[in-house]
Amino acid sequence: MKELIYKCKNPVRLDSYISEKYPLVRPGTLNKFLRQNKVKVNGAKAAANCKLYDGDIVSLYISDDYLIQPDKNNAFLFASPQVEIIYEDENIFVVNKPSGISVISDNWQEFDTLSNRIKHYYLKNSLGDNIPQLCHRIDTGTSGIVVLAKNDDALEFMFDMFRDKQLKKKYICAVKNNPKIKDGIYKAFLTKNSQRGFVTVSDKPLNNASQNIETGIKTLDSFDSYKLMDITLFTGRTHQIRAHLSSMGMPVLGDSKYGDNNLNRKLKLKYQLLCSCCLKFGRIEDERYSYLSYKEFVCPDPWFVESFKNRKL
């Protein structure tokens, strides 16, 4: 049994207090403990919205496994262990990342990252300590395909594939429609401002660091002032899709950096409606990985595809 004494002049809800103290006691778990009378306030049964006042005693009759304090070594335990696997073999591990979580973070206190989820998944399912390693990244707000390698040789191979642009990448996104823009392949230049974490797209290079970009767009569906688009990346630059489409008057819906924030608020969108939906290998000469030649990975349609079908966002 763990006993806590609340010491603060400002009252706080019981569920907020518990979740701050013990992140592993998630809302659903706490509600279960409350129903089972395993969490008491001043010796009495309590509800999640019960207010705690200075001097109140909270008694927890729960396993010590839930009372672990996070640190750099166990941070992954505070991430969800749920991982949506698209493909797996002895060399690579392909998953579908949900929007809203980082692939990886330098801040260990950002618990729920994709890398931490995978580490937690491996521990929970007793799959060993050889955790797959990331081969690339996608933005926090972008959902979709992420590839990891299960060994050092596969990691080097995948690095080479991404570096040499030997993988065909396709995305699906919802944008604010600009009827003047037709389907096709569009070229421009992208200039990165690392200090601002921002890129600018222009018709001509802005400086010696400007990079050429090439983006293919195809309309899949449209209604009202919105359009669902298939995007093919011929170059893979930082924020290329979001910045390029925005420069064409077709910002990705939900994109807070390059998009239309008034529209985002109106639609109540928290993350950009952008999904890395398909990754395809070309012909592979390396005999160790030739079995992956022309292999294509496709993730399930993101939620906004169904919204377009129903003509509702």
Residue 42: pLDDT band with limits 50, 70, 90: very high
User: Is 31 within 8 Å of 71 (Cβ atoms)?
Assistant: no
The domains found in the chain, sorted by start residue, are 2-67 (3.10.290.10), 75-163 (3.30.2350.10), 167-309 (3.30.2350.10)
Buried-state track 215-237, b at ≥16 Cβ within 10 A, e below 16: bebeeeebeeebbbbbbebbeeb
* Spatial separation of the C-alpha atoms in residues 174 and 256, rounded to whole Å: 14
Q: What is the pLDDT of residue 121?
A: 97
Global confidence as pTM? 0.85
pLDDT tens for 92-124 read 999 999 999 999 999 998 999 999 999 999 999
Tokens found for residue 177: 């429609």
Q: What is the pLDDT of residue 279?
A: 97
Long-range CB contact pairs, 114-120, < 8 A, 24+: 114/146, 115/76, 116/75, 116/76, 116/78, 116/79, 117/76, 117/79, 117/80, 117/81, 117/82, 117/83, 118/83, 118/93, 118/148, 119/76, 119/79, 120/76, 120/77, 120/79, 120/80, 120/81
pLDDT at 283 over 90: yes
Percentage of residues of the chain with pLDDT beyond 70: 100
pLDDT tens for 61-90 read 999 889 988 889 999 999 999 999 999 999
User: Is 184 within 8 Å of 210 (Cβ atoms)?
Assistant: no
* Spatial separation of the C-alpha atoms in residues 242 and 260, rounded to whole Å: 11
Residue 26: pLDDT band with limits 50, 70, 90: confident
* Spatial separation of the C-alpha atoms in residues 162 and 177, rounded to whole Å: 31
pLDDT tens for 192-248 read 998 888 999 999 999 999 999 999 999 999 999 999 999 999 998 999 999 999 999
**Other CB atoms closer than 10 Å to residue 204's CB: what's the count?**
7
Report the mean per-residue pLDDT for the chain.
Answer: 95
Q: At what angle do helices 27-35 and 14-21 cross, to 10 degrees?
A: 120
Kindly state the average pLDDT of the residues 154-175.
Answer: 95
Give kind and range of the element (H or E) at residue 193: strand 184-193
Amino acid at position 35, single letter: R
User: Is 262 within 8 Å of 150 (Cβ atoms)?
Assistant: no
pLDDT at 277 over 90: yes
pLDDT tens for 124-146 read 999 998 999 999 999 999 999 99
Q: What is the pLDDT of residue 1?
A: 87
Q: What is the pLDDT of residue 3?
A: 93
User: Is 259 within 8 Å of 252 (Cβ atoms)?
Assistant: yes
